[in-house]
Amino acid sequence: MGANGKIAVVGAGLSGAVIGRELAQAGYQIEVFDTRNHIAGNCHTERDKETGVMVHVYGPHIFHTDDTEIWEYVNAFQTFMPYKNRVKTTSKGQVYSLPVNLHTINQFFGKTFRPDEARAFIDEQADKTIEDPKTFEEQALRFVGGDLYEAFFKGYTQKQWGCSPTDLPASILKRLPVRFNYDDNYFFHKYQGMPENGYTAMIERIFDHPNITVNLETHFHRSQSENFAHVFYSGPLDGYFNYELGRLGYRTLDFERFTYQGDYQGCAVMNYGDVSVPHTRVTEHKHFSPWEEHAGTVCYREFSRVCGPDDIPYYPIRLVEEKEQLAQYVSRAERETAVTFVGRLGTYRYLDMDVTIREALDTSRLYLSKKAAGGVMPVFLHSPV
């Protein structure tokens, strides 16, 4: 296709890999740029040299979806092994299962409720005086009452977001976070699993195409856009504009790695709901690959804090201040030509992996159809505002 057919993909994570692969298969020459020294972005996995455990370097990523096409897509590049996420939490010296379910309720209140009895009991606990919850705290109190809120939601949320739950919108707690049965599978989705050899091996295979060149430890500057027919940008939206309007707010994570001989905590994820415990959770990575056996183990204590200029952004904050700034960046982005912003950072939205892949597939297919019809590719498929 010549020089005019050359496409830049900024970011070697899921968005960049899927878009790059789809367009490479359609005959385009793809140049991928990533500032890190590895592919796969925050999904990056690697074998720990000391223990042999497959470690989720930037924290656990558990694949779950109801989208059959996406499930078949990832399995074409890596065998996904069965995995159910069963989270525990420590609160006031006791261990409970999450999400809050019938076992949690009975254990916490010292009862032996049947489902209908538990439902009626929680309904009595709920604060009915809150008719239109505006904050996270009001939403929780309206749904589950003060006791469950204090034990399982308040402290963890305060540590995760670095502010009082009274300052967070009710929308963060979208639905009743309680199950009135003994199901402790964290996700509801039809397909759940983990890649047998890790996410990085999967993304390596997605990138394995003669039309794709991957440039690691390489910064892509906006001025380079003129060298390409189109740019698919999955880096930070504010970073594309060199943070000219200031930095969008993110939470970042610090990990305190430690090893242990044997089994440290008996589960993959242990939350810590008490605000007196500085970390939000401990993850034990060998439990993310239950088909493997390892004598040693690798664990991460996870700490959440405000993201600084040199930190890795994880969770977009999206409170009032950020939304005003975001609208300004979106307005500026929409004046750009031949660039499409994609992914979690490019659209400043929290996205699960399956949604990221779905949007990347939809983006690449739209690009091909627009090129065939002589149309113009939009700057955003899904508006961040």
Residue 367, pLDDT > 90, answer yes
Same-domain check for residues 233 and 318: yes
Q: Is 150 a member of any domain?
A: yes
Q: What is the pLDDT of residue 120?
A: 98
Same-domain check for residues 69 and 213: yes
Q: Is 298 a member of any domain?
A: no
* Domain finish residue from 116, 144, 172: 172
- The secondary structure element, H or E, covering residue 262 is none
- Answer yes or no: 86 catalytic: no
- The secondary structure element, H or E, covering residue 200 is helix 199-207
Q: What is the pLDDT of residue 3?
A: 43
Only one residue has tokens 């939403």, namely 139
Same-domain check for residues 75 and 197: yes
Token digits of residue 330: 């979106």
CATH code, domain with 218: 3.40.50.720
Contact yes or no for 82/372 (Cβ under 8 A): no
Residue 4, pLDDT > 90, answer no
Q: What is the pLDDT of residue 283?
A: 98
Choosing from 50, 124, 132, 175, the catalytic residue is 175
Question: How many independent structural domains does the chain possess?
Answer: 2
Question: What range does the domain containing 151 cover?
Answer: 87-172
Q: Is 259 a member of any domain?
A: no
Same-domain check for residues 93 and 159: yes
Same-domain check for residues 8 and 78: yes
- Answer yes or no: 348 catalytic: no
Choosing from 182, 243, 260, 350, the catalytic residue is 350
Average pLDDT over residues 208-213: 98
- Answer yes or no: 257 catalytic: no
Average pLDDT over residues 26-31: 98
Same-domain check for residues 162 and 104: yes
Choosing from 86, 247, 251, 365, the catalytic residue is 251
Sorted by sequence, the CB contacts under 8 Å of residue 375 that are 6+ apart come out as 369
Between 75 and 1, whose confidence is greater? 75
Sorted by sequence, the CB contacts under 8 Å of residue 383 that are 6+ apart come out as 330, 347
Q: pLDDT over 90 for what percent of the chain?
A: 96
Choosing from 22, 302, 354, 359, the catalytic residue is 302
The span from the CA of 273 to the CA of 147, in Å, is 13
Q: Is 223 a member of any domain?
A: yes
- Answer yes or no: 34 catalytic: no
Same-domain check for residues 17 and 70: yes
Contact yes or no for 376/336 (Cβ under 8 A): no
Same-domain check for residues 101 and 146: yes
Contact yes or no for 279/272 (Cβ under 8 A): yes
Choosing from 46, 150, 167, 352, the catalytic residue is 352
Same-domain check for residues 234 and 335: yes
The span from the CA of 301 to the CA of 280, in Å, is 8
Same-domain check for residues 94 and 167: yes
pLDDT tens sequence across 172-193: 887 767 999 999 999 999 999 9
Sequence-separated contacts (24+) of 331-336 with Cβ below 8 Å: 332/241, 332/245, 333/237, 333/240, 333/241, 333/379, 333/380, 334/379, 334/380, 336/379
Average pLDDT over residues 139-163: 95
Helix pair 102-109, 136-148: axis angle to 10 deg: 50
- Answer yes or no: 284 catalytic: no
Mean pLDDT for the chain overall = 96
The span from the CA of 38 to the CA of 217, in Å, is 8
Q: Is 257 a member of any domain?
A: no
Helix pair 14-25, 199-207: axis angle to 10 deg: 30
* Domain finish residue from 142, 172, 202: 172
Residue 1, pLDDT > 50, answer no
Average pLDDT over residues 256-271: 98
Q: Is 74 a member of any domain?
A: yes
Average pLDDT over residues 109-127: 97
- Answer yes or no: 318 catalytic: no
The span from the CA of 55 to the CA of 258, in Å, is 12
Q: What is the pLDDT of residue 177?
A: 75
Residue 288, pLDDT > 60, answer yes
DSSP 115: H
Confidence class for position 154, pLDDT limits 50, 70, 90: very high
Choosing from 21, 281, 318, 344, the catalytic residue is 281
Q: Is 279 a member of any domain?
A: no
Backbone angles phi, psi at 297, to 5 degrees: -145, 150
Alpha carbon distances (Å) from 15 to 12, 55, 120, 164, 233:
8, 21, 45, 33, 9
* Domain finish residue from 121, 145, 172: 172
Choosing from 21, 179, 318, 358, the catalytic residue is 179
pLDDT tens sequence across 49-75: 999 999 999 999 999 999 999 999 999
Sorted by sequence, the CB contacts under 8 Å of residue 114 that are 6+ apart come out as none
Q: What is the pLDDT of residue 86?
A: 96
Average pLDDT over residues 27-36: 98
Q: What is the pTM of this model?
A: 0.96
- Answer yes or no: 179 catalytic: yes
- The secondary structure element, H or E, covering residue 254 is strand 250-261
Average pLDDT over residues 17-25: 98
Average pLDDT over residues 323-340: 96
Alpha carbon distances (Å) from 264 to 58, 258, 294, 296:
20, 10, 12, 9
Same-domain check for residues 51 and 123: no
Helix pair 353-373, 14-25: axis angle to 10 deg: 30
Same-domain check for residues 351 and 239: yes
Q: Is 48 a member of any domain?
A: yes
